[in-house]
Amino acid sequence: MSPIYPGSVDAAGQRATLGVLGGGQLGRMFVHAAQRLGYFTAVLEPDAQSPAGLVSHHHIQSGYDDPAGLAQLAQRCQAITTEFENVPAQTLQTLALARPVAPSAAVVGIAQNRIEEKAHFTVCADVSGVSCAPYAVIETPDQLRAVQVERADLLPGILKTARMGYDGKGQVRVRTTVELAAAWAELGGVACVLEKMLPLTAECSVLVARGWDGQVVSFAPQRNVHVDGILAVTHAHEGNMPPALATRARDAAVSIAQHLGYVGVLCVEFFVVDDGSESGGLVVNEMAPRPHNSGHYTLDACDASQFDLQVHAMAGLPLPKPRQHSPAIMLNLLGEVWFDASGGRREPDWPAVLSLPGTHLHLYGKLDARVGRKMGHLTITGPDVAGVKTVARSAAVLLGLPGLDAI
């Protein structure tokens, strides 16, 4: 692919424009990163009030499978990406006939289906040295019965839908074969994966950026804490996990990206399990073919953010090796922050929060706060880890955030 340089103009007088499918907060932060470099941007998103659409040069208000909207996006843009993995893979295939698309439809298709994703991880394990948890595929009543009879070793486990599961949705914990059958019926008898529950001690993720030419850079692993299946706290600092384990996670994530021939920013999530060793064992959980919630700290703690690297990768620019200049903790801000204990609306105490040293508030421009909705995040940076933790605890108390004991 020929590089698309910032601020360049083509023969028709059109300014270099980068497009994104999806108008959420990830698209918004991508748009900001692209515009800072001098690119024009176009967002395809059906919601007229979408966070990304409101700040982009062009907002194509269209469905993700609308031929007219896709044609307009391809006409306006020199390269196209996506901000979420559930955009139809066929849409990416269609756009790739006219423009460079990163990541590819094939890769996004793997990430959309847990069955294909786990098969890919299993193949990569020979090179990466990190496999996924033991699992079985359940797509038919016969497969369910076979698992009940032959794979009882997978119980207790978690039954997960093969498609459309995120933030803990589409998942049911099961302890017995009877509960397994009931859970599959509850999920509608759709294709699922039964995954063995492991003794988890921590969760972590690694962000990798890979260019069209195969160049790869990555960030250090970040340790994540989830509450009710949704990310609450990310620790991005020295000592957040044992060095040997961090190296294994980083190497495995790079290996997975290389094996896919990936282009763009990829997040690979891992479980740390108690295997009797001092540092624990590592198991790959899932991947997201886009920037990730756990990487938002890079906006304030690194000299190149995950969104900067997303722009560089899709435009064919060199990938700078990111350097983290400050320890950081990221706190996710859900809609609950805008409600008091009795359920009444309130405005968070931003003056108190923003008076704390090293706080960086990012609100996503969403007009309606709802319970469980990602409204923004707060990153705390500072010269030392102890100070960052102290400020993060104070901010969490002021905002009434969960996961305080994990900071």
Cα separation, 361 vs 209, in Å, equals: 25
The predicted model gives 285-289 an average pLDDT of 95
166 is in an annotated binding site: yes
CA distance 127 to 110: 19
Cα pseudo-dihedral 322, 327, 333, 338, rounded to 10: -140
Q: Are strands 40-44 and 58-60 parallel, antiparallel or unpaired?
A: parallel
* Least confident segment among 41-45, 169-173, 238-242: 169-173
Which pLDDT tens digit goes with each residue over 111-154? 999 999 999 999 888 887 899 999 999 999 999 999 999 998 99
CATH number at residue 189: 3.30.1490.20
Co-location of 180 and 288 in the same domain:
no
Q: What is the pLDDT of residue 11?
A: 76
19 is in an annotated binding site: no
Is the separation of the CB atoms in 307 and 299 below 8 Å?
yes
- Read off the pLDDT band of 1 (50, 70, 90): confident
pTM above 0.85?
yes
**197 annotated to bind ligand:** yes
Among the candidates 149, 167, 196, a domain finishes at: 196
Q: pLDDT category, 279, cuts 50, 70, 90?
A: low
Alpha-carbon distance 141 to 116, whole Å?
Answer: 20
The string of pLDDT tens digits covering residues 205-229 is 999 999 999 999 999 999 999 998 8
DSSP 386-399: HHHHHHHHHHHHHH
Consult the annotation and say whether 14 binds a ligand.
no
Residue 116 marked ligand-binding:
no
Q: Are residues 158 and 212 in the same domain?
A: no
What does the pLDDT average to over 232-242?
A: 96
Q: What is the mean pLDDT of residues 8-29?
A: 93
The reply, when asked if residue 25 is annotated as ligand binding, is: no
* Tokens 């098969």 found at: 119
In a domain, 117, yes or no: no
The answer on whether 169 is annotated among ligand-binding residues is: yes
* Contacts of range 124-130, beta carbons closer than 8 Å, 24 or more positions apart: 124/252, 124/255, 124/256, 124/259, 127/255, 127/259, 128/251, 128/252, 128/255, 128/256, 128/284, 129/248, 129/251, 129/252, 130/248, 130/249, 130/252, 130/270, 130/282, 130/283, 130/284
Average pLDDT over residues 278-282: 78
Q: Looking at the structure, do residues 244 and 384 belong to the same domain, yes or no?
A: yes
Confidence of residue 236 (pLDDT cuts 50, 70, 90): very high
pLDDT at 87: 92
- pLDDT score recorded for residue 113: 94
**pLDDT tens digit sequence for 151-188:** 989 999 999 999 976 656 789 999 999 999 999 999 99
Q: What is the 3-state secondary structure (H, E, C) of 319-330?
A: CCCCCECCCEEE
285 is an annotated ligand-binding site residue: yes
Angle at 193 between CA 187 and CA 195, to 5 degrees: 115
The answer to whether 171 is a known ligand-binding residue is yes
- Is 225 found in the same domain as 178? no
Distance between CA atoms of 252 and 246, rounded to whole angstroms? 10
Asked if residue 170 belongs to a known ligand binding site, the reply is: yes
Note whether 230 and 357 are same-domain residues.
Answer: yes
CB-based contacts of 340: which residues, under 8 Å, 6+ apart? 346
Is residue 174 in some structural domain?
A: yes
Do both 217 and 349 map to the same domain? Answer: yes
Region 40-61: mean pLDDT is 97
Count of domains forming the chain: 3
Strand (E) positions, 274-373? 281-288, 328-334, 359-363
Element (H, E) at 73: helix 67-76
pLDDT at 320: 96
Q: How far apart are CA 180 and CA 157, in angstroms?
A: 9
> Is residue 263 scored above 80 in pLDDT?
yes
The answer on whether 168 is annotated among ligand-binding residues is yes
Of 52, 84, 101, which residue constitutes the final position of a domain? Answer: 101
- Report the distance separating Cα 383 and Cα 388, nearest Å: 8
* Helix%, strand%, coil% for the chain, nearest 5: 35, 25, 40
Residue 5, domain member (yes or no):
no
**Pick from 386, 385, 391, 323: which is nearest to 357 by CA?**
391
110: in domain: no
**Collapsing DSSP states into helix, strand and coil, what is residue 128?**
helix
Check the annotation: does 165 bind a ligand.
yes
CATH number assigned to the domain comprising residue 92: 3.40.50.20
Q: Is 366 annotated as a binding residue?
A: no
The answer to the question of whether 223 is labelled as a binding residue is no
Does residue 310 surpass a pLDDT of 80?
Answer: yes
Q: Residue 140: helix, strand or coil by DSSP?
A: coil
Residue 141 belongs to domain spanning: 134-196
d(CA 68, CA 74) in angstroms, rounded, equals 10
Q: Determine if residue 167 is labeled as part of a ligand binding site.
A: yes
pLDDT for res 211 = 98
Q: Is the peptide bond before 156 cis (omega within 30 degrees of 0)?
A: yes
Per-residue model confidence (pLDDT) at position 45: 97
Give pLDDT, residue 277.
Answer: 76
In a domain, 12, yes or no: no
Whether 270 and 347 share a structural domain: yes
Tell me the pLDDT tens digit for each residue of 58-91.
999 999 999 999 999 999 999 999 999 889 999 9
